Amino acid sequence: GESVGLHLPTLSVQEGDNSIINCAYSNSASDYFIWYKQESGKGPQFIIDIRSNMDKRQGQRVTVLLNKTVKHLSLQIAATQPGDSAVYFCAEKAAGNKLTFGGGTRVLVKP
């Protein structure tokens, strides 16, 4: 598959355990924060978003937490499955549809 990033931080997690992926952002004026998942050979896929006036949002097996005080965003994946193996990016959205992406974290799920 195509290499997304040769030196990405990697999170190894046992199948069934919970995963926590962290992200620091820079723009206090961002209106939304979004998590994307990118599998090998594919484009990024939307997972979940959170508006800047919220601190927590839950989806199916995923929870996003936003801490504006320290400009920190996290994605929690419950009961991690082999299909969750991918690179995860956080992104900030301000004006229009411009997304500013973080560097990415590679998640490896061990059976």
Is residue 46 a contact residue for another protein (CB under 8 A)? Answer: yes
The answer to whether the beta carbons of residues 74 and 9 sit under 8 Å apart is no
Of 14-22, 55-63, 72-80, 95-103: span binding another protein (CB under 8 A): 95-103
Is residue 99 a contact residue for another protein (CB under 8 A)? Answer: yes
Of 13-21, 57-65, 76-84, 96-104: span binding another protein (CB under 8 A): 96-104
Q: Choose between 3 and 111: whose C-beta lies nearer to another protein.
A: 3
Question: In 37-56, which positions are buried (b, 16+ CB within 10 angstroms) versus exposed (e)?
Answer: bbeeeeebeebbbbebeeee
Least distance CB 75 / another protein (angstroms): 15
Cα 9 from Cα 107, distance rounded (Å): 9
Q: Choose between 70 and 98: whose C-beta lies nearer to another protein.
A: 98
What is the separation, in whole angstroms, between the first and last Cα of the chain?
Answer: 21
